[in-house]
A and B are shown apart, each in its own frame.
Chain A
Amino acid sequence: MFLSVGVRFEANVEALNMVETAGNYGKHRRVPYLVEEEGKLKTVYVPAMSGESLAHAYQEHLVREALSAGLPVCDDCQRGEFYKSMNKVHLKKKVDPIPDNPKSIEEAIVKACVVEDVGGFLYAEKPPVRRSSAFQVSYALPVKSVALFATSEPQLHARHAQMDASSKKGNASEQMIYYVETGTALYGFTFNLDLDAVGVSAITSKPILDEDEIKKRREASLKALFRMLSSSQFGAKLSRFFPVGGITELVVAATDYPFVVTSPIYDDYIVKTKKRLEVLRSFGEESFLAVAGEEKVPEEALKEAIDYLHEKGAF
């Protein structure tokens, strides 16, 4: 089973993805974007959030869901440090001695950690072992039709320190002025989850875990997505730049084989997704689609999709 979600969210004055600080200036991630204006294409620079940032958030939620379901998560991942068994030092914490063939290495890692099962890993030693992530996530980018109205603007902040003349050293001042570049836009992103890849070897395509364990892990990975979207706990600087806004629209499709919803950066993505699914249905493939907008809240649509997957026996 394959799940694909397209999300549109409005975020005003957010600092969800900062890229670097130079002196007292913290920059928001920005990407070049091709938009049409009066029949002409032009490049504009718009605020964006990387897929890596969203993936990190998802995996943090996955840790929590897995642990509360009594599933194994390795120590590194529990701390939110997703080294993913990248070398001997990190792998040794899971399996010691380290096996000498890729199949056994993959098996040991998958058994020991749900995050590396679902989120993939790269063990860069001899022999190297690579497991693709069962979930995929795009960058969050401004919706095309309103991308020209997206802004990234620096906001001035000041940090104060109380100092009397005696404690003042050198040119340290009582006030440190700094700028935080914030973004404002209607963003869209896509999230896919291949439930068939959970607990299954990327090398042999055979299950590594028993069916019951696989089902539990699938449920945890669905709940993690639900929680991430419902709580808006993704991105950086939430403590002082929690985005003002929220999910405005969402489509969620569940299919037997990979199918990705039309990207929510296009205004007609809901209609297009429906049409594309109809074609799939005409081939006899079962599918499910739920749309959250004016009538339905995102949680309802997600819940319906999860219920559908449950009925189909995915977990």
Chain B
Amino acid sequence: MVNTEYGGIVKMLRFFVQTKNFSYVDRIGNALNPEPVEVALLEALRAFRSIRESAPIDKNGRMYVEKDGNKIPVPGIPSDEEIKKFLDDVRSDMGVAKLVATLALAYPSRKENSGGGE
């Protein structure tokens, strides 16, 4: 299933959605060809790494970011295999990008709602 194949990317994009930054998820979801997806993912990963570098850690050892008084857990960085697979799949089927973006916008199901860093 998509959720396990691209779970890391979905979680990262969902993190941006939770911090009210819709730019990456919109660009990935609305892309008409693979290039914008690649660029948006590259930029998302770059921004995400910077955010993780400066994110504080709570007493349970989890990274979080504070936005409007809410503590939003910072998930892990998607693996390189996952990203490669995602980009390869997007190149053959743009529907994959749309699906990942849609999942990132959806309410997370309870069993994966744990969030948090690795």
A42: chain B residues at CB < 8 Å are: 35
Beyond the given pairs A22-B46, A22-B48, A32-B36, 19 more chain A to chain B contacts, judged by CB atoms under 8 angstroms and listed by A's residue number, are A20-B21, A20-B23, A20-B47, A22-B47, A22-B50, A22-B51, A23-B49, A23-B51, A23-B52, A24-B53, A25-B50, A27-B43, A30-B39, A32-B35, A32-B39, A42-B35, A43-B35, A43-B36, A45-B39
Of B39, B48, B50, most A-chain CB atoms within 10 Å: B50
24 residue pairs bridging A and B, Cβ less than 8 Å apart = A20-B21, A20-B23, A20-B47, A22-B48, A22-B50, A22-B51, A23-B49, A23-B50, A23-B51, A23-B52, A24-B50, A24-B54, A25-B47, A25-B50, A27-B47, A30-B39, A32-B35, A32-B36, A42-B35, A43-B33, A43-B35, A43-B36, A45-B35, A45-B39
A74 to B43 Cα, complex, angstroms? 40
Interface string of B49-86 (1 = CB under 8 A from A): 11111100000000000000000000000000000000
A23 to B52 Cα, complex, angstroms? 8
Interface string of A13-42 (1 = CB under 8 A from B): 000000010111101001010000000001
A22: chain B residues at CB < 8 Å are: 46-48, 50-51
A25 to B45 Cα, complex, angstroms? 12
A45: chain B residues at CB < 8 Å are: 35, 39
Query: What is the interface size of chain A, counting residues whose CB is below 8 A from a CB of the partner?
Result: 11
| Nearest CB of chain B from residue A257's CB, rounded to whole Å | 37
A30 to B42 Cα, complex, angstroms? 13
Q: Which 9 A-B pairs have the closest CB atoms?
A: A23-B50, A22-B47, A25-B50, A22-B50, A43-B35, A23-B54, A23-B51, A45-B39, A22-B51
Which chain A residues in 62-109 approach chain B with CB under 8 Å?
Answer: none
B23: chain A residues at CB < 8 Å are: 20
| Nearest CB of chain B from residue A33's CB, rounded to whole Å | 11
A290 to B58 Cα, complex, angstroms? 64
A20 to B22 Cα, complex, angstroms? 12
Query: Which single residue of chain A is at the shortest CB-CB distance from B52?
Result: A23
A22 to B47 Cα, complex, angstroms? 5
Judged by DSSP, the binding face of B is helix
| Nearest CB of chain A from residue B59's CB, rounded to whole Å | 15
Of B33, B43, B52, most A-chain CB atoms within 10 Å: B43
Interface residues of B (CB under 8 A from A): 21, 23, 33, 35-36, 39, 43, 46-54
| Nearest CB of chain A from residue B89's CB, rounded to whole Å | 19
B51: chain A residues at CB < 8 Å are: 22-23
- Please state if A25 and B46 are interface contacts (CB–CB under 8 Å): yes
B52: chain A residues at CB < 8 Å are: 23
A42 to B36 Cα, complex, angstroms? 11
A30 to B51 Cα, complex, angstroms? 20
B54: chain A residues at CB < 8 Å are: 23-24
B39: chain A residues at CB < 8 Å are: 30, 32, 45
Of A22, A27, A43, most B-chain CB atoms within 10 Å: A22
Query: Which single residue of chain B is at the shortest CB-CB distance from A23?
Result: B50
B35: chain A residues at CB < 8 Å are: 32, 42-43, 45
A314 to B50 Cα, complex, angstroms? 54
A43: chain B residues at CB < 8 Å are: 33, 35-36
A9 to B46 Cα, complex, angstroms? 30
Query: Which single residue of chain A is at the shortest CB-CB distance from B34?
Result: A43
B46: chain A residues at CB < 8 Å are: 22, 25
| Nearest CB of chain B from residue A243's CB, rounded to whole Å | 23
B50: chain A residues at CB < 8 Å are: 22-25
| Nearest CB of chain A from residue B25's CB, rounded to whole Å | 14
A32: chain B residues at CB < 8 Å are: 35-36, 39
A23 to B35 Cα, complex, angstroms? 25
B53: chain A residues at CB < 8 Å are: 23-24
